[in-house]
Structure 1
Amino acid sequence: MRLTRAFLPTLKETPAEAQIVSHRLMLRAGLIRQTSAGIYAWLPAGLRVLRKVEQIIREEQNRAGAQEILMPTIQPADLWQRSGRYDDYGKEMLRIKDRHDREMLFGPTNEEMITDIFRGYATSYRDLPRNIYHIQWKFRDEVRPRFGVMRGREFLMKDAYSFDLTKESSEHAYRQMFLAYLRTFQRMGLKAVPMRADTGPIGGKLSHEFIILAETGESAVFYDAKFDGQDWAGSDLGYDDVPALEGFFEQVTSMYAATEEMHDEVAWAAVDPASRREGKGIEVGHIFHFGTKYSEPMGLSVAGPDGQPVVPQMGSYGIGVSRLVAALIEANHDENGIKWPDAVAPWKVSILNLKTGDAACDAICEKLHAALPDDAIYDDRSERAGVKFADADLMGFPWQVIVGPRGAAAGKVELKRRMTGEREELPIEEALAKLLRPGAEA
C-alpha cells in the first residue's frame, strides 16, 4: 500500500471529546471516526487491526473445538420473555417494532437465541457436548457512552456457548475456554490475568474475567507474580486431556488474582509479600458457567442414556473484539503514538523514503515494497523526513525501514523497531531477510 493512495486521515490535533489514550490515538491515527454517540465507523487501518484480532480469536476457538455460526443482530422479543430477561435487562436494550407491530430488539447478547437454535437440533445425549460461537455486532444503549470503542454502544463481540449433558462435562468445557482465552491474548502480545468475577445479570456461580494489565487501566487489580512469564500459547496441553486440564485450571486459579471489586484482604495477606503485584487493568474477556439457567426456562432437554429427559448444562464465553483494539493501544503506546504488537498491526512494516524523487532511494523503496506486498505501507509522500517519522510513530507500525540518500548510496537501509526504539543499519537483502523471517518480531 502506498501512503499517497491510502485512506489514512490522520489528525495533528487531538479531538476535545477524546478522554483516554486509546480514543485519542485511534482518532489521530485514522483508525476510526465517530458517527454518533458511542458508534464508530472503522476506517481501513482500524479495520485491518480489527480483522487480525478477530482471526486470532477464531483460530483459538476452532483449536479448542468450538464451531462457528453467525446469528442475526435483530432478535424476537419473545425469546427474552421466555427466559425472563426481557423486562429485567433495562434501558440498555434497544427495543423496536417491525411493520407488523411485532416486538423485536437489537441483541445485546445471545444466550436466548443460541438456546433456541440448539433446541431445534438437539434431541439426544448423542448430540452433546457442543460448543458454538459467533463473532457479531452487538448494541447496548449505554446511558453515557465514553472512551471511544472501549465503552461504546455498538461493539463487535465473540460469544461462545457450550451445551453439555452433565455438570462435570460442562465444567470441562469451561476449562477448555479458560485455556483458549489465555492462549488468545498471549498470541496478541498481551499479558492477561484471569480473575474470579461476579456473574452479574448473565447468572451462574462460576465466572472469570480476563484482565489486561495496563498503566491506564480502568480498575485496580491485585495478582500473584507467578503469573509473570507464563507461556500459555506454547504449552502442549491438550483440550481433551480431562485430568491434565483440570489440574492446570486448579493450579492457575489457586494463584491470587482479583479486581478491586472482588479483592479479599485476608487472602491477599496470605500471598508472599515478595510476590504481590498491584496495578491497573482492562477487562477484555468474561466467561460464565450457569448450568440450566437458560436451558430450563426455554424448554431445552434431550433424551439421556436411559431415555429420561435431561436439561443440558450451559456456559457462555465472551471476548470484546472491538474493545480489544482499544485495550491493545492502552497497553502498548508512548508519547509519540501506538506501538502495535506484530500479530495485530495493520501493516507490519513502514517504508520511509526520506528523499522521494532520488533515483536510488526510489529504487530501493520499490524493491522493498514489492517484496512485502501485504505487510508494508510505503510512505512515498513528498513530505519532510520529520513528518514521516512522526506519522510512522503515531500509527505504530512495528518496523520502520528508513531509506535515505547516504544509506542508499551504500546499498543499506536503517531498521527501527517501534516497540523498543532500537535501530540498526543493514544491507538491503539482510534487512529484507530479517523482516520476512518468521518470528521477526523477536
Structure 2
Amino acid sequence: MAYVRWSHYFLPTWKEEPAEADLASHRLMLRAGLIRPLATGIYTYLPCGWRALRRVEAIVREEMDAIGGAELHMPVVHPAELWARTGRLSDFGPSLVRFQDRAGREMVLGPTHEEVVTDLARREIQSWRQLPLMLYQIQTKFRDEPRSRGGLIRAREFTMKDGYSFHEDAPDLDRYYPEVYRAYERIFRRCGLSPVPVEADPGLMGGSGSHEFMLAHDQGEDTFVRCAGCGYAANREGAVAVKEPDPDEALLPREEVATPSCTTIEAVAAFLGIPTRKTAKAVFYRAGKALVFVVIRGDLEVNEAKLARVLGTAELSPATEEDIVAAGAVPGYASPIGISGDEVVVVVDDSIPPARNLVAGANKEGFHLRNVNFPRDFQTQLVADVALARDGDPCPRCGGTLHIQHGIELGHIFKLGTKYSQSLGATFLDRDGQARPLVMGCYGIGIGRLLAAVIESHHDEEGIVWPTAVAPFHVLVAVLNPKDGNQVALATSVAAHLAEAGWDVLLDDRERSPGEKFHDAKLVGIPVLAVIGPRSLRTGEVDLERRHNGVRSPAPASPDSIQRAVQDLLRTE
C-alpha cells in the first residue's frame, strides 16, 4: 500500500468561513476540501471526501452482507408507467423529476427504487423456494427538494443504500425485520454514532411497521418525542400522546354568543374568558376534490401526517377562503354544525368526544356557539387521533412526560407488506401452488447524510475529528521543512513503513509554514498526526498526536516502534 503526497493530491482547504453554510458539517466539509457545490443541493465529492464516503459504504456493505444481503445496481432512470401503476407518479409531487426520452416515453429520475425492484422480482421470483431474499444497492438518487440545506444533510442529488426483502408472508417479514434493525444499530455504532430508534410514519412509502434512526441535534429538521421514563420514542409525525380530559360535567343547552372581531381561537378564548382547551377549533384542508373539515380541541394542533393517513391520501393542502365559503362555512367562525355535502369530509379528533360544553363557530360572522357537544350537536364517522404531540404531554405507555427533540434522520426501515407487489403484479407460487403477492420490507440509509452526521458529532472549533473507521486517512505525516533533505527522507521513510503496515497515510510535503500545516491538520482531522522536524533529526524520535484528545506520544523513528505507537493511539477511541 502506497502513501499519498499532499503536494500531488487534490485537497484544497479554505481558511475563510463559507457564508452559505449553517451546519457545522456543511461548513467543515467545504473548508476541509471534502465537497464542492455545483448547484443548489448538488455536490462534487473531492478525493478526500470520496475516500471517507467509501469508508462508510464499506461498513454498510459488510453489515448488509452479514444478514444475507446480495448487492445489485439498478438504473437511476425509470419508466414513469411503473410509478403510475403504484400511484406515486402523482403522489410524489414536484420533487419527482419527470422527462420524456427521444421516443416520447415518459421517464422519471429515481428518488427511490421500490417500483424498479418490485418489477425485477415480478420477473424473476416464481416460487416460495426462492424466498426469503434480500437485495440492496448503493446508488445515486435525485429528489428536487424545495428546501435543500445543510450540505449533504438535505441534498437534491444524494447517495443512498436501499435494501428490499421479499417474503412468503407477514410472519417471515416480522422475523427478518429485527435482523435489519440490529444491523443498522451496528452500522451507526461503527461510524461512531448513537442515534435514537423511533417509531415512524411510513408516509409515501406505505406499509405498516416503520422505524427511523434519529441523531439528536438542535439544528435537525426532523422532530421526535421521547419519554425518559420508559424509552418510548416516535417521530412527531406519528407520535401518540395522552390527551388529559377535563372533569366530566353535565351537557348544557347550546346558545349563540356575540364574538365581534374574534376570528382566532386565542381571540375567542380571551373575549369569553375561557381556556383555549374549552374551544373546538375548525381547520380546513383540500384533499383532491374534497374539502376536509377537521374539528380539534382548541389547544391542540393538527398533525397533517396523521390526517393524511386517516383519509388515505397523500394529496393534502391548506384550503383557501374560497373553498371554505363554497362549502357553506364562514372563515373565522366556521362550525361543524349544519355542514353537509358529498364533497365535505368532517374529521373529529379524539380529543373532542370526551370534552364537554365547548365553544365553536356559529357559521355566522361575529358569533360563536357555547356548549357545543359531540355527538349531540354534530356527527361524523371519522373520529381519530389527528393531533400533534406536544412537549410535556403524558406518555401513552407509562404516563411519564414526553419531550420534543430535534434530530437528523440517518436511516428508515419499513414493513411494506404487499403495497407494491399487488400494484405491480409481483406474485409467487406458495407451498400449496397458489399465486400470492410477495410480502416486502424496505430499508434505507442516506450514505452522504450519514457521513455529514459523523462530522456533526465529531468536530471541535478547529475542524473535523474523524473516528478511525471512517477517516479518509489514518495517519498524517507532516514534514515541517520540505526543503531539508534529511527531514524529507525521514518523513518519507516513516510514511512508507506505516503504509506497508496497512495504514492509509497522507504525507504533507507541501512548501507551507509549520503554522499552516498544523492548522490544516486540525481542520482535515486525520486521527493521528506524526510530525517530522528538527527535533526529530536531533533526538531520533517522531512526535505523534492523537486528534480526538490531543494526547502526544513521541516514538523512536524505527518502523516497528512507530507502528506500535500509532496502533496504540488508534485504540484510544
Task: With the length of structure 2 as denominator, give the TM-score of the two structures.
Answer: 0.69
Report the secondary structure of 1:297's partner residue: helix
Q: Does 1:357 align with 2:489?
A: no
Structure 2 residue matching 1:72: 3-state secondary structure: coil
Task: State the AA in 1 paired with 2:232.
Answer: Y
Q: Indicate the residue corresponding to 2:234 in structure 1.
A: 258
Decide which of 92, 96, 105 is 2:95's aligned counterpart: 92
Q: 2:547 aligns with which of 418, 421, 428?
A: 418
- TM-aligned CA distance change 1:163 to 1:438, over 3 Å: farther
Contact 2:227 2:395 in 1 (8 A): no
The answer to whether structure 1 residue 26 and structure 2 residue 155 are counterparts is: no
C-alpha separation in 2, matches of 1:292 and 1:412: 65
Question: Aligned match of 2:565 in 418, 430, 434?
Answer: 434
Q: Which moved more, 1:172-181 or 1:277-286?
A: 277-286
Q: Unpaired runs of 5+ in structure 1?
A: 227-253
Percent identity of equivalent pairs: 45
CA distance in structure 2 between the aligned counterparts of 1:438 and 1:312, rounded to whole angstroms: 50
Instruction: From the superposition, tell whether residues 433 and 133 of structure 1 become closer, same or farther in structure 2 (CA, over 3 Å).
Output: same
- Residue in structure 1 matched with residue 517 of structure 2 by the alignment: 388
Larger mean Cα displacement after TM superposition, 358-367 or 65-74: 358-367
Shift of residue 193 of structure 1? 2.0
Taking the aligned partners of 1:263 and 1:386, their CA distance within structure 2 comes to 54
Deviation per residue, 1:38-70 (Å, 9 max, x gap): 111111001001111111101110001111110
SS at match of 1:16: coil
Q: Using the alignment, how far apart are the partners of 2:28 and 2:396 within structure 1? A: 36
User: Is the aligned partner of 1:176 residue 2:179?
Assistant: yes
What corresponds to 2:451 in structure 1?
325
Partner of 2:464: 338
Q: Counterpart in 1 of 2:495?
A: 369
- Secondary structure in 2 aligned to 1:70? coil
Q: Verify the 8 A CA contact 1:215 1:331 in the aligned structure 2.
A: no
1:166 is aligned to 2:166 = no
Q: Deviations over 1:192-231 (max 9, x none)?
A: 22111111111112100012244554445555779xxxxx
Match of 1:118 in 2: 121
Matched, 1:106 2:109: yes
Cα distance in 1 for residues equivalent to 2:70 and 2:459: 35
What letter is aligned with 1:258?
A
Paired amino acid for 1:85? R
Displacement, 1:359?
Answer: 4.1
Please state how far the C-alpha of 1:155 moved relative to its aligned partner: 0.3
Q: Note the alpha carbon deviations across 1:17-50, whole angstroms, 9 max, x for none.
A: 1121111111111111111111111110010011
CA shift, 1:186, in A, is 0.9
Partner of 2:422, secondary structure, is: coil
> Which residue does the alignment assign to 1:188?
191
Q: What is the Cα deviation at residue 266 of structure 1?
A: 2.3
**Deviation digits for residues 117-168 of structure 1, max 9, x if unmatched?**
0110111111111011111000000112121111111000000001100111
Q: CA deviation at 1:109?
A: 0.4
Find the partner of 2:14 among 11, 19, 40. 11
Distance 1:360 1:216 in 2: 49
- Give distance in 1, aligned partners of 2:221 and 2:556: 45
User: Does the C-alpha gap of structure 1 residues 224 and 412 become closer, same or farther in structure 2, counting only changes over 3 Å?
Assistant: farther
Provide the rounded CA distance (Å) in 1 between the counterparts of 2:215 and 2:556. Answer: 39
Residue type of the partner of 1:266?
A: P
CA distance in 1, matches of 2:91, 2:218: 35
Aligned counterpart, 1:43 = 46
CA distance in 1, matches of 2:218, 2:459: 10
Give 1 or 2 for the bigger CA radius of gyration.
Answer: 2
Asked whether the 8 Å contact 1:216–1:330 carries over to 2, the reply is no
> How far apart, in 2, do the equivalents of 1:441 and 1:218 lie?
33
Q: Compute the displacement of 1:268 (Å).
A: 7.7
Amino acid of the residue matched to residue 27 of structure 1?
A: L
Using the size of structure 1 for normalisation, the TM-score is 0.88
Question: What's the offset of the Cα at 1:426?
Answer: 2.1
Q: Deviations over 1:240-295 (max 9, x none)?
A: xxxxxxxxxxxxxx74333455374322894889xx99865311100000211111
Deviates further, 92-101 or 11-20: 11-20
Aligned residue among 414, 426, 429 for 1:300: 426
Tell me how far apart the structure 1 counterparts of residues 485 and 240 of structure 2 sit (CA, whole Å).
63
Aligned residues: 413
Separation in 2 of the partners of 1:382 and 1:172? Answer: 59
Question: How far apart, CA to CA, are the structure 1 residues paired with 2:26 and 2:445?
Answer: 19
User: Take 2:64 and 2:539, find their aligned partners in 1: how far apart are those partners?
Assistant: 48
Separation in 1 of the partners of 2:564 and 2:226? 40
Larger displacement relative to structure 2 (401-410 or 298-307): 401-410
Q: Which amino acid aligns with 1:403?
A: I
Between the aligned partners of 2:228 and 2:542, the Cα distance in structure 1 is 41
Residues 1:291 and 2:417 are matched in the alignment: yes
The match for 1:230 is: none
